[in-house]
Amino acid sequence: MRFGATVLTRTRCEQIAPQAGGWIATLVSSSERRSILARAVVNATGPWVSRFVRDVSPVRTTHGVRLVKGSHIVVRRLFTHRFAYIFQSEDRRIVFAIPYEHDFTLIGTTDVDYDGEPSAVRIDAHEIRYLCSVVNRYFVRQITPAEVVWSYSGVRPLLADESSDASSVTRDYALELDRYPAPLLSVFGGKITTYRKLAENAVDMLASELGSRAKRWTATATLPGGDLPSGSFAAFLRTVERRYPWLPVNLRRRYARAYGTRIDRVLGDAASLADLGRELLPQLYEREAEYLCREEWARTAEDILWRRTKLGLQLAAADFKRLDAWLENRSARASLTA
Ligand SMILES: Cc1cc2nc3c(=O)[nH]c(=O)nc-3n(C[C@H](O)[C@H](O)[C@H](O)COP(=O)(O)OP(=O)(O)OC[C@H]3O[C@@H](n4cnc5c(N)ncnc54)[C@H](O)[C@@H]3O)c2cc1C
């Protein structure tokens, strides 16, 4: 990785135990079980944060999280402009209607207290009806649950406070440091919008614990692919057009949006559409799929079609199976050449 980190996806930390003044961590994946010695551990497991402290570590924390389910629905687009609506429902909650992947509108969210397994969270019929009814109060065109083309749910690990109402629980975060036998930093709550501040505060706390004198550098750093030459997406898109005139407009736009300046790594030395390899599914060429496996840890069709892109919105279940078959062949080929 660019900064020397080793990233192990689909790997569970099953236990951390004190050893030699640090933590010995047991890491388990489907193919192996290994132990590593760590000078410090950060427990940034989101909705699992309290469970990690309770079941994986020997320490106790004072903070806790309240798990609140939030669901979104996606329908064919309800308006053509590029702005979002913020609606207030009768229960005073806020619901957004946001332009989504060009042809769709994203509507969300709900706030429902949740006590199940976070990875098993699913939208229920009541939430779908609720979201439809909120937008139906405002739009002329009325939608029904039958028009929902996709939905997704997540669990917010909200910093537990005194609120009785799930939508008014604080969206702030807390960092809790334990020093036995080495730093264990747990993250309670947080948002994507404040992720950088949260991460900087976490690293500051660890740096002083570990005696690091490294200089801070992240405040103005761009994310991978975000270093657009003039800071303007429109100008960047023109550069992409000049550089790859053979790329169809919709692919050019999607690649530029998804990968930014990393588009060069996706396309490599390709000089024509034929160089992108087979079109595995509509809009998905082998070269992009290879890039996602090679550099973004994609392993399954769901990784590629939902988590790394939203191409799944336009595809059928059988397409996912075809892509999974291609991925299986790819990994079989890779293990033959290894
Ligand atoms: C419905 C909903 C709407 C939201 N809306 C917004 C919004 O509008 N704006 C905003 O800023 N934020 C929003 N958020 C919050 C945002 O999504 C989260 O803050 C963000 O995703 C947290 O990322 P994370 O990497 O810290 O945690 P997560 O994405 O929760 O990742 C935690 C990871 O830890 C892994 N893990 C758990 N236990 C272990 C273990 N023992 N070993 C190894 N790995 C483990 C899990 O598998 C998971 O991959 C929303 C969240 C939800 C659910």
CATH superfamily of 12-60+172-210: FAD/NAD(P)-binding domain (3.50.50.60)
Residue 190 Cα to ligand 1 midpoint, Å, equals 9
Phi, psi of 159 (to 5 degrees): -60, 120
Q: Give the ligand 1 atom nearest the CA of 187.
A: 26
Tell me the C-alpha distance between 259 and 284, whole Å.
14
Q: Whose CA is nearest to atom 45 of ligand 1?
A: 45
The pLDDT-based confidence of 161 (bands split at 50, 70, 90) is confident
Q: Whose CA is nearest to atom 46 of ligand 1?
A: 45
Residue 118 Cα to ligand 1 midpoint, Å, equals 10
Residues touching ligand 1 (Cβ under 6 Å) are 12-13, 44-48, 52, 56, 70, 109, 154-156, 190-193
CATH superfamily of 233-337: Alpha-glycerophosphate oxidase, cap domain (1.10.8.870)
Tell me the C-alpha distance between 288 and 276, whole Å.
8
- CB-based contact 211:182 (threshold 8 Å): no
Q: What is the mean pLDDT of residues 30-34?
A: 96
Q: Which two tokens stand for residue 80?
A: 């053509």
Dihedral angle computed from the Cα positions of residues 175, 178, 184 and 186, in that order, rounded to the nearest 10 degrees: -30
Strand partners, 156: 68
Q: Give the ligand 1 atom nearest the CA of 71.
A: 1
pLDDT tens for 229-287 read 989 999 999 999 999 999 999 999 999 999 999 999 999 999 999 999 999 999 999 99
Which H/E stretch holds residue 14? Answer: strand 12-19
Q: Which comes out higher in pLDDT, residue 164 or 79? A: 79
The pLDDT-based confidence of 217 (bands split at 50, 70, 90) is very high
Q: Whose CA is nearest to atom 14 of ligand 1?
A: 191
Q: What is the pLDDT of residue 39?
A: 97
Q: Whose CA is nearest to atom 18 of ligand 1?
A: 191
| H-state helical runs in 260-316 | 263-267, 286-295, 301-302
Integer angstrom CA distances of residue 81 from 77, 85, 99, 150:
10, 11, 8, 21
Q: Whose CA is nearest to atom 44 of ligand 1?
A: 12
* Residue 240 identity (one-letter amino acid): V
Residue 46 Cα to ligand 1 midpoint, Å, equals 5
Range of weakest confidence among 233-237, 239-243, 322-326, 330-334: 330-334
For the chain, the domains span 12-60+172-210, 65-159, 233-337
Dihedral angle computed from the Cα positions of residues 191, 196, 200 and 202, in that order, rounded to the nearest 10 degrees: 20
Q: Whose CA is nearest to atom 33 of ligand 1?
A: 45
- Mean pLDDT over the full length of the chain: 95
Strand partners, 148: 75
The pLDDT-based confidence of 44 (bands split at 50, 70, 90) is very high
Phi, psi of 151 (to 5 degrees): -150, 160
Q: What is the pLDDT of residue 315?
A: 97
Question: Can you tell me whether residue 53 is helix, strand or coil?
Answer: helix
Q: Give the ligand 1 atom nearest the CA of 27.
A: 42
The pLDDT-based confidence of 1 (bands split at 50, 70, 90) is low
Same fold: 12-60+172-210 with 233-337: no
Q: Which CATH number fits domain 65-159: 3.90.470.10, 3.30.360.10, 1.10.10.10, 3.30.9.10?
A: 3.30.9.10
Residue 299 Cα to ligand 1 midpoint, Å, equals 20
Q: Give the ligand 1 atom nearest the CA of 109.
A: 1
Integer angstrom CA distances of residue 167 from 45, 109, 113, 263:
22, 10, 9, 39
